[in-house]
Structure formats: structure tokens, C-alpha cells
Amino acid sequence: MTDWVGRSAADIAAAVRSGEVTARSVVDEHLAVIDAGDGPINAFNLVTADAARQSADAVDATIAAGGDPGPLAGVPVALKDNLCTRGIPTTCSSRILEGWRPPYDATVVQLLASAGAVSVGKTNLDEFAMGSSTENSAFGPTRNPRDPSRVPGGSSGGSAAAVAAGFTPVALGSDTGGSIRQPAALCGVVGLKPTYGLVSRYGLVAFASSLDQIGPFSATVADAALMLGVIAGHDPADSTSIPEPVPSYTESLSAGVAGLRVGVVRELTGEGIAPDVAARVNAAVAALSAAGAEVTEVSVPAVTYGLSAYYLIAPAEASSNLARYDGVRFGLRVDAPTTDAMMTATRTAGFGAEVKRRIMLGTYALSTGYYDAYYGKAQRVRTLIARDFAAAYDTVDVLVSPTSPTTAFAFGAKADPLSMYLNDVCTIPSNLAGHPAISVPFGTGDDAMPVGVQLMAPALAETTLLSAAAVLEAASGVAS
């Protein structure tokens, strides 16, 4: 039997649609690999094997009847466990949502199913997507498949690990301050954060609503483009969804970078970046130049304040969003004599330490007498960051930086919250501006662990971003 594990989503879909292989056999192969290998990795909170086989059989039945299941026919996909799945537990890796089964599917989950993709399970994450290492999960940490003694990054560490381990060719994650791109870099896979509003957030359990965005993980840039083409588009159920037509992202992959203006962000390539990571970024810049890009150094001054602004805005929005977890409507409930005591007991037992920390930070930033000094000022800094990006994009088409300041670190190495937060220094600015960004693997560091190079572009410039990413991928030796 042909082994389809390790093959691209594009190859699998083409083979299933042509009848070369059945969706059921592809899914069975991947489920067997998950069953054999996920124990020590802990990428999945839940594997939905029976439902996956039923979905695969439905794809095969459509083909047998002469129909076309869609561009992702029979492709196994893993879903971050903060995406609502009808009748299937959605935990956000938190005890507070214990026993909750959503009554509806997230829009992206519906779109994947309509395209013929087969969900095989829900992946582990930092609780409520708050973290950079997937150590903050009620279900234990996920381990990096490249070296299980190290973290996979976060918060979408389970999805990144699932793709890196070959459990699925593609996965979905969410990115609030780098939670797709950073774990993609640490695990050596491709991770794309689309323009804010390009992909519907309906059914994504909210962390920070003005920052959250759903995007794909994949082993190749082509698969990221394929996935984006399926999940992008206007959704009336999401008030922030952009009412614009979706271009063909796969067609843009062969455009190349000849004449493309590429800017190296001065503020994100100096102090705080490990020398081995900086060396790989320099090599990536040289590769883009060799492929015909016009490379220059640019300054985006306000990004130096991105971390400070983010850790006021995101916790403030989290404080508001997480107020709904009160033990009354859904999830965990710890009984107590009074309603106030019940809410206190439920939240004390249900939320982990990092979530509690961010709720308290956010509540403080929004409190009377401090709102203008903290939250209001952070929003003004956010505006400055957007203006500085706009000025940079007047002179260049794409920006480049490291994705993460270091390669994957050991478990427990960054127990201090500030040292952990610094992992997101390169990724946060794109979330604050609402712009797209992608992490592409580009070799390894001195420790033989993957290094990711980040490309950034203006809003809705995903076609340009992906064409540049394809050139980088080819230069890294990942693509032939």
C-alpha cells in the first residue's frame, strides 16, 4: 500500500480526487501514525478517529458518485482546540470548559469540511491561547518532535507539532501575538497569520478579539496557500470580516521576487536576537537578493514598543472576554453556598496561573483611574505602529525579520513571565497592525534546531507574501 504519510496536502487531494487512493486509506494511515507516535509528543487533546473515518467514507462516496469533494479531498487536518466543533469537546486546554460541547461549528471548520478535508482531532495549546511554549495546558505540555526535551512554542504548539511529526499534513491554529508563527519556527514548519478580517473568527473562542486571527500550519508554502484559499473569505457572522473577493493564492506562488522591494527591519534584527538565528536571517536575505529582490534596511521605530502595548491590550480584552466563564452558563461549576462564592470557586479551580495573571493585568489596565494611563496609551502606541508600518511600505513591498529570537528552548527554561513574553517581540507588531505575516523554515541554529524567518506585508498582500515565501523555501532546500 502506498504510504501517504509525509505527502503534501496538494498531492493527497489530487490523488484522492483522481481515484488513485481512497480518502479512507489516507485517513487510516495518519490515524495509525498518531496512535503510534503521539503519546510522548502530546500534540492532541482528542483524536476523533470514528468521526474522521465517517468523513473519509463520505468523501469516497462523493467521488464514486462522480462528484468533486473539493480542493482538500481526503486531506487529514488537525484543529486547535479553541475552534468550536459541533458536539465535540472544545476545551481551550482549560479545566473551566470541562464537559462543554459546542452546538455549532466554527466557520473555518465548516469551510474545511466543505472542501473535503477530514478533521482527525483537536490539538493542545497554552490555556486560552495564552503562552509561547504550550507549557500552560491543563492537559500537560506538548513536546517538540524535533527534540522532545524542548518546547514546540505556543500557543498553537499542538498544531505545529502535529504537522512537524507528520501526524497531519496541515493544521489550523490561531495567532494573537505570534501563536502560529512562533511555534512554526520552533518546530520547523510553515505558519501563516493572515490579514485581520480575511479569515472568519466566528467560532474561535476569543482571547483578544481585536488581535486574534486563524491561519494554517503546513509542511510547504504551497499547502499554506491551498489552505488559505479554502478558509479565507467574507463571513456575515463575523462583524470584522472583510467583504473582499479572495484571489488565487496558489497561482501567486510562481511569481518570484524579481524587482520586489524587501526591507530588513532594523529594530527586529539587532539586540536580543541569538547570533545563530541572525545568521540564518542574513542568509535568507542574501537568498532573496540573489533571486532578484531589491534589499534594503528599513526602520519601523514604534515596533520597539510593541511588546509593552500588546501586554496591556491583549490582557484587557482577555479580561472582558473571559468574564463569561462564571460557572453558570457552560463548563466547570464548583458548587458553593452563594453565587459569588460559586463564581470565585469555579474560576479559582478552572483557570491556570498564566490565565489568572493576564486577567488581573487586564482588569487593572481597564480599572477606573488607570484606563487612560495604561489601556488608552497602549492603543495610541498601536496607532503609531500602524503608521510606521505604513511609512515602511511606502518604500518596500515586504519586510523580513527573525520569527523568534531563539531556537526552541528547554522545558522550564523561561519560568519568568517577562523572559517568556520576549519570545513574541518579533511577531506581535503584525498583530497590532492587523497585517499578514508568515514564518518559513530556513535551516537550523547551532543546536541543530529549526530557525524560522518571518516575512511581513501590508494588509491583503498575501499573494506577494506567499510568492516571496516560496522563493525562500526553495532557497532553503525544503522545496525542489
Burial 86-104 (b: 16+ CB within 10 A, else e): eebbbbbbbbbbeebebee
Strands 294-298 and 261-265: what pairing? parallel
Tell me what pLDDT residue 123 has. Answer: 98
Report the C-alpha gap between 69 and 373 in whole angstroms. 54
Give per-residue pLDDT as tens, 359-418.
Answer: 999 999 999 889 999 999 999 999 999 999 999 999 999 999 999 999 999 999 998 888
Q: Is 429 in contact with 416 (CB distance < 8 Å)?
A: no
Strands 261-265 and 398-402: what pairing? parallel
Q: Does residue 119 fall inside a structural domain?
A: yes
The torsion region of residue 203 among left (phi > 0), alpha (psi -120 to 50) and beta comes to left
Please choose, from the candidates 436, 419, 415, the residue with its C-alpha nearest in 3D space to the C-alpha of residue 427.
Answer: 436
User: CA geometry: angle at 9 spanning 141 and 192, to 5°?
Assistant: 55
Give per-residue pLDDT as tens, 219-237.
Answer: 999 999 999 999 999 999 9
Query: How many structural domains does the chain have?
Result: 1
Q: Does residue 455 fall inside a structural domain?
A: no
| pLDDT higher than 90, residue 477 | no
For the question of residue 122 being annotated catalytic, the response is: no
Q: Does residue 398 fall inside a structural domain?
A: no
Q: Does residue 431 fall inside a structural domain?
A: no
Name the residue range of residue 66's domain.
Answer: 9-235
For the question of residue 80 being annotated catalytic, the response is: yes
Element (H, E) at 80: strand 76-80
pLDDT interval class at 480 (50, 70, 90): very low
| pLDDT higher than 50, residue 176 | yes
Query: Which stretches of 3-146 are DSSP H helices?
Result: 9-18, 23-41, 49-64, 107-114
Query: Which stretches of 393-447 are DSSP H helices?
Result: 417-421, 428-433
Tell me what pLDDT residue 415 has. Answer: 87
Is 0.95 surpassed by the pTM of this model? Answer: yes
Give per-residue pLDDT as tens, 60-103.
Answer: 999 999 999 999 999 999 999 999 999 999 999 999 999 999 99
Report the C-alpha gap between 123 and 162 in whole angstroms. 8
Give per-residue pLDDT as tens, 179-203.
Answer: 999 999 999 999 999 999 999 999 9
CATH classification of the domain holding 77:
3.90.1300.10
Q: Does residue 83 fall inside a structural domain?
A: yes
Which one from 94, 137, 155, 159 is the annotated catalytic residue? 155
pLDDT interval class at 2 (50, 70, 90): low
Q: What is the mean pLDDT of residues 169-178?
A: 98
Please choose, from the candidates 385, 380, 389, 384, the residue with its C-alpha nearest in 3D space to the C-alpha of residue 461.
Answer: 389
Q: What is the mean pLDDT of residues 111-125?
A: 98
Tell me what pLDDT residue 368 has. Answer: 87
Q: Does residue 273 fall inside a structural domain?
A: no
Q: Does residue 58 fall inside a structural domain?
A: yes
Least confident of 52-56, 191-195, 249-253, 475-479: 475-479
Residues 6+ apart with CB under 8 A from 149: 143, 410, 411
Report the C-alpha gap between 143 and 147 in whole angstroms. 8
Please choose, from the candidates 170, 69, 48, 23, the residue with its C-alpha nearest in 3D space to the C-alpha of residue 121.
Answer: 48
Give per-residue pLDDT as tens, 138-159.
Answer: 999 999 999 999 999 999 999 9
Q: Does residue 113 fall inside a structural domain?
A: yes
Which one from 179, 218, 430, 467 is the annotated catalytic residue? 179
Tell me what pLDDT residue 103 has. Answer: 97
Give per-residue pLDDT as tens, 329-355.
Answer: 889 999 999 999 999 999 999 999 999
For the question of residue 248 being annotated catalytic, the response is: no
The mean pLDDT of the chain is 96
DSSP 366-383: HSTTTTIIIIIHHHHHHH
